[in-house]
């Protein structure tokens, strides 16, 4: 069994603070200056330094960097030679210490370091914390590497999953844009003006088989089903039925007033500005409740409720709204009724489009759930491996077929 020993962080590595650049040092040539922003996102806007720097303040691929002020995190730098700014440590491990393991080790104990750090609003970790903090650490570098390899392999799977989610998001965004403006022809193909007839409309060019409409002639507004309940009142009637606000579930209570398929769209708030990232509508199809800050819509014979949901899901409607403040808007009922939309004349086509969009959304949701499970596994694995409660050899033995 591998041996573990109590080690102080200061004894595991040298922590070299970055260079203190003055504004007059910033330029457009030389080495890129890496601040916290560039460490988080290497593609962020960057200043450059063309002067001479001590070698200790220069980082290169593979170097471990520790952001110790305000934002506390570690990164392996892999974006070429650069100049390290102050508030960042270049972490140079001592002999017998594996760099990758050290990164995971410090990350695991960051919450404990943060508790001991200075500053109530801007936390930072000084050498005092590094000198005082100690934890059990594997004595043999080979054991450190074995643990680091397991963590790295899991991290790689998580990164691959996140890349799939990003790809799915790009596909979903492009597909929704095409489906909600061009639709699907009788052969299941997305229309284009090169092969299909289009016409002008108040919303731009739309297929000949589509109509320009408003909410007034596309849906029934069912706001009579709403009921505002204060937090104090809801506290006395806790239950299983969701209580919705403009952007999601606020609580669960023991009664319901809404039962059926409806679309909720917020009446007021700042979420309207986040239309490209945050969903503007909520599709409900189970018993629930809705407060007075969300409109309740139900499609009519010409427009499906699902179509209303997807059409406004990520649509910018701020042009039509009343501004209530710097970032807050109001969608009153009169404005809601006049909101324009385009829709296929055929509800069959509407349904086919909605089915395609829903499948893409379900696929992405499944991948996001898989990522969440992997992240939960990682948390538990780190707690076991980095505290010494479980050994990599034990994990390997469990994974070996008998």
Q: What is the pLDDT of residue 396?
A: 44
119: tokens are: 């500053």
Of 345, 367, 389, which marks where a domain is finished? 345
Mean per-residue pLDDT for 312-332?
92
User: Distance between CA atoms of 333 and 300, rounded to whole angstroms?
Assistant: 17
Q: What is the pLDDT of residue 398?
A: 47
Q: What is the pLDDT of residue 87?
A: 94
Whether 132 and 243 map to the same domain: the answer is: no
Q: What is the pLDDT of residue 119?
A: 52
Whether 56 and 36 map to the same domain: the answer is: yes
Which residues fall within 8 angstroms of residue 267, CB to CB, at 6 or more apart? 246, 292, 293, 294, 295, 330, 331, 332
263-315: pLDDT as tens digits: 999 999 999 999 999 999 999 999 999 999 999 999 999 999 999 999 999 99
pLDDT over 80 (residue 392): no
Of 298, 323, 345, which marks where a domain is finished? 345
User: Distance between CA atoms of 330 and 308, rounded to whole angstroms?
Assistant: 19
pTM reported for the whole predicted model: 0.80
Count: domains in the chain:
3
220-257: pLDDT as tens digits: 999 999 999 999 999 999 999 999 999 999 999 999 99
Place of tokens 């594997």: 138
Q: What is the pLDDT of residue 402?
A: 40
Contact 357, 179 (CB under 8 A): yes
Domain membership of residue 278 as a residue range? 210-345
54-88: pLDDT as tens digits: 999 999 999 999 999 888 999 999 999 999 999 99
User: Distance between CA atoms of 103 and 65, rounded to whole angstroms?
Assistant: 9
Higher pLDDT, 81 or 396: 81
Task: Confirm whether 111 is domain-assigned.
Answer: yes
User: Distance between CA atoms of 256 and 241, rounded to whole angstroms?
Assistant: 6
Which residues fall within 8 angstroms of residue 95, CB to CB, at 6 or more apart? none
Q: What is the pLDDT of residue 401?
A: 42
Quote the Cα angle for 147-149-152, to 5°: 110
CATH number at residue 395: 1.10.287.1120
Task: Confirm whether 201 is domain-assigned.
Answer: no
Q: Which DSSP category does 95 fall into? A: T
Q: What is the pLDDT of residue 1?
A: 53
Whether 248 and 187 map to the same domain: the answer is: no
Q: What is the pLDDT of residue 103?
A: 97
| Average pLDDT, rounded, for the chain | 93
Q: What is the pLDDT of residue 399?
A: 44
Collapsed DSSP state (helix, strand, coil) of residue 252: strand
The CA-atom distances, in angstroms, between 52 and each of 48, 196, 377 are 12, 63, 46
Q: What is the pLDDT of residue 342?
A: 98
Whether 272 and 312 map to the same domain: the answer is: yes
User: Distance between CA atoms of 293 and 331, rounded to whole angstroms?
Assistant: 10
Task: Confirm whether 203 is domain-assigned.
Answer: no
Whether 339 and 223 map to the same domain: the answer is: yes
Whether 86 and 154 map to the same domain: the answer is: no
Task: Confirm whether 202 is domain-assigned.
Answer: no
Whether 214 and 232 map to the same domain: the answer is: yes
Task: Confirm whether 200 is domain-assigned.
Answer: no
User: Distance between CA atoms of 179 and 192, rounded to whole angstroms?
Assistant: 11
Confidence band of 35 (pLDDT split at 50, 70, 90)? very high
The CA-atom distances, in angstroms, between 84 and each of 39, 395, 399 are 10, 39, 42
Whether 68 and 122 map to the same domain: the answer is: yes
Q: What is the pLDDT of residue 126?
A: 86
Whether 230 and 273 map to the same domain: the answer is: yes
Q: Which is nearest to 96 in space by CA: 54, 135, 130, 145?
A: 145
pLDDT over 70 (residue 200): yes
Q: What is the pLDDT of residue 327?
A: 80
Task: Confirm whether 183 is domain-assigned.
Answer: yes
359-390: pLDDT as tens digits: 999 999 999 999 999 999 999 999 999 987 77
Q: What is the pLDDT of residue 326?
A: 79
Whether 99 and 28 map to the same domain: the answer is: yes
Mean per-residue pLDDT for 19-38?
96
The CA-atom distances, in angstroms, between 77 and each of 48, 85, 230 are 17, 14, 50
Task: Confirm whether 204 is domain-assigned.
Answer: no
Q: What is the pLDDT of residue 118?
A: 57
Q: How far apart are the first and last CA of the chain?
A: 21
Q: What is the pLDDT of residue 70?
A: 83
CATH number at residue 270: 3.90.220.20
* CB environment 81-115: b (16+ within 10 A), e (fewer): ebbbbebbbbbebeeebbbbbbbbbbbbbeeebee
Whether 85 and 124 map to the same domain: the answer is: yes
Mean per-residue pLDDT for 323-348?
94
Whether 335 and 364 map to the same domain: the answer is: no
pLDDT over 80 (residue 207): yes
3: tokens are: 């041996």
Place of tokens 């593609």: 43
Beta bridge partners of 251: 243
269: tokens are: 């708030």
Q: What is the pLDDT of residue 397?
A: 41
Q: What is the pLDDT of residue 11?
A: 97
Place of tokens 């691959």: 160
102-125: pLDDT as tens digits: 999 999 999 988 887 655 455 788
Mean per-residue pLDDT for 185-214?
96
pLDDT over 70 (residue 127): yes
Confidence band of 154 (pLDDT split at 50, 70, 90)? very high
User: Distance between CA atoms of 111 and 135, rounded to whole angstroms?
Assistant: 13
Contact 360, 351 (CB under 8 A): no
Of 321, 345, 369, which marks where a domain is finished? 345
Q: What is the pLDDT of residue 115?
A: 82
């Amino acid at each position: 069994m591998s041996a573990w020993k109590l080690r102080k962080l200061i004894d595991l590595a040298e922590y070299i603070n970055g260079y203190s650049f003055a504004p007059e040092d910033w330029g457009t040539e030389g080495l890129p200056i890496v601040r916290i922003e560039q460490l988080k996102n290497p593609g962020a806007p960057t200043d450059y330094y063309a002067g001479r720097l001590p070698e200790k303040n220069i980082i290169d691929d593979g170097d471990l960097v520790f952001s110790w002020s305000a934002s506390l995190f570690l990164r392996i730098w892999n974006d070429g030679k650069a100049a390290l700014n102050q508030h960042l440590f270049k972490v140079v491990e001592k002999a017998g210490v594996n760099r990758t393991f050290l990164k995971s080790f410090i990350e695991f104990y960051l919450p404990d370091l943060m508790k001991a750090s200075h500053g109530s609003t801007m936390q930072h970790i000084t050498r005092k914390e590094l000198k005082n903090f100690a934890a059990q650490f594997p004595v043999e570098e080979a054991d450190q590497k074995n643990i680091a390899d397991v963590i790295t392999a899991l991290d790689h799977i998580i990164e691959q999953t996140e890349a799939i989610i990003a790809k799915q998001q790009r596909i979903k965004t492009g597909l929704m844009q095409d489906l909600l403006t061009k639709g699907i022809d009788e052969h299941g193909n997305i229309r284009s003006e090169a092969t299909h007839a289009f016409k002008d409309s108040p919303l731009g060019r739309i297929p000949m088989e589509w109509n320009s409409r408003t909410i007034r002639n596309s849906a029934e507004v069912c706001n009579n089903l709403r009921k505002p309940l204060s937090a104090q009142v809801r506290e006395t009637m806790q239950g299983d039925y969701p209580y919705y606000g403009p952007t999601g579930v606020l609580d669960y209570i023991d009664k319901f007033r809404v039962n059926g398929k409806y679309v909720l769209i917020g009446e007021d708030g700042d979420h309207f500005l986040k239309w490209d990232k945050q969903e503007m509508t909520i599709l409900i199809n189970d018993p629930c409740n809705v407060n007075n800050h969300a409109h309740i819509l139900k499609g009519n014979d010409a427009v499906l409720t699902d179509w209303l949901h997807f059409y406004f899901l990520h649509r910018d409607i701020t042009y039509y709204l009343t501004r209530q403040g710097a970032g807050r808007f109001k969608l009153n009922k009169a404005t809601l009724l006049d909101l324009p939309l385009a829709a296929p004349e055929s509800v069959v086509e509407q349904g086919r489009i909605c089915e395609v969009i829903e499948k893409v959304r379900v696929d992405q949701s499944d991948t996001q759930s898989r990522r969440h499970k992997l992240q939960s596994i990682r948390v538990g694995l780190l707690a076991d491996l980095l505290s010494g409660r479980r050994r990599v050899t034990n994990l390997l033995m469990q994974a070996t077929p008998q």
